[in-house]
Amino acid sequence: MFTGSITALITPFKNGDIDWKTFDQFVEWQVAEGSSGVVPCGTTGESPTLSHDEHKKIVERCVQIVAQRIPVIAGTGSNSTAEALDFTHQAKSAGADAALVVTPYYNKPTQEGLFAHFKTLAQSVNIPIIIYNIPGRSVVDMSVDTMCRLAEIKNIVGVKDATADLARPLVLRERLGNGFCQLSGEDATATAFLAQGGHGCISVTSNIAPRLCADMHSAWQKGDLGTMSRIRDQLSCLHRALFCETSPAPVKYAASRLGFGTDDVRLPLVPASASARAQMDQAMGKVGLAMSRSQAA
């Protein structure tokens, strides 16, 4: 079971290439700050604009740096089943603990197509698979019925739910029990998701506030609702700022403010606008992130 604050890692770039030195430092910082896991090559890692070679090297490098201290859940999804299969095989051979597989985007498969896609991956690669359901980016929404069918396959172990539908975790828990791992994909509603039966969050915010995010989830697990609520409220301004423009442009700017490389993104994304930067600066100042990072350095 994957629980707690799991960071959807950014991919640092410099002059168009991956900034490996910054990547190494960033992953090490995530472990040191108490993150419960990391996800390389997800949406926040700009997986759509990584070459296949870059994608595989990032997963390998992440596994090496983490060195089994926390779980590595590799993003391996694609709108091509054959491509997703290749990425998933590679994640398994690299030593990843699980694969995060997005619902195929653009080609808009039916529910039966979604079932066949995930069944093929699960039966071909013996690695725990987490379904990534994000209709806002993939344009398809996996139904609860389809997810329950897939949950009958042993190594399909959970879902990253980015629908922001807070009724779903209750429905899934009712039908599948507490053993099916439910991870929020929405930072702003992560604590509500936990209260509705969730187990953790694959987070964008934890890229820049890993300790706070980790402490919030730890407080929930301990039943310390006062601390959880205080940190939830403290982070709310960050959640809003990080999604004021298309992610990961704002979070890469924020990471650069903390000393982690540049804010470069790959086209068709562009760096955060002046307005977005101002919002990020204000939110980071309110939370005290820039000060805490400089003191830690």
Query: Could you give the residue numbers annotated as active site?
Result: 132, 160
List the structure tokens of 64: 């090496």
Whether 4 and 214 have beta carbons less than 8 Å apart is answered as: yes
Token match 């998701």: residue?
193
End-to-end CA distance of the chain: 33
Identify the CA nearest to 261 among candidates 269, 270, 252: 252
> 230 φ, ψ to 5°?
-65, -45
Helix (H) / strand (E) containing 227? helix 225-242
Helix 144-151 crosses helix 168-176 at what angle (to 10 degrees)?
40
List the structure tokens of 57: 């090297």
The span from the CA of 7 to the CA of 204, in Å, is 6
